[in-house]
A and B are shown apart, each in its own frame.
Chain A
């Protein structure tokens, strides 16, 4: 079955602009999570959506937002870009029903590499 698809793979923006990243999860997965990874840093949790609702949120400013559509596809948006937003943005999908451990295994996409100049 198809994996998690993220678009675009690479993009360059300038400070002050905004960006929208897209994620198509594995068919049947209703949970989509987003992570930010900056050079030399670990995975920082941004937010998680389940059935079109934001269920969890990390410690990021309000410039970072997201949404999930009825087909489970998700987008994240970063407004008023700053240099520090340059990072690899990773999307992951899972069943995440909480009923068993296997449901929380994440399948990641290849990521969207954002460079802010």
Chain B
């Protein structure tokens, strides 16, 4: 079955630096990946979706890349701010036959220090 992995260790960076989070997948080739942000005690919020034929996608200070050779998606936050501190989740599309069943990675917690 498809498997997705995110770095479970928290990422601590200094304000103003670029944060880079990783989402690796094995056993399959997803047609797209979704990225969400989750603040403590709240539901995740959708940020970006990148398709396999899109090498890169941007939204304000956010940038997502999709490398089908490395089987990896990278999520970048440039000029990071303390308000960017949260857990970031990636999710592949539902497996064939399981439309509607979205499984998330464990998430990577980002802490931006002022």
Contact = CB atoms under 8 A, between A and B. Distances in A.
B99 interface: yes
Contacts of A105: 34, 46, 49
Nearest to A55: B100
Given A42-B107, A56-B100, A104 B44 contact: no
B61 interface: no
Interface in B14-47: 31-32, 34, 36, 41-46
Interface residues of A, number: 28
Contact of B100 (A43, A94, A110, A111): A94
Contacts, number: 70
* Chain B facing A: main interface SS: loop
Nearest to B31: A101
A42 B105 contact: yes
A84 interface: no
A101 B49 contact: yes
B79 interface: no
A24 to B, nearest CB: 14
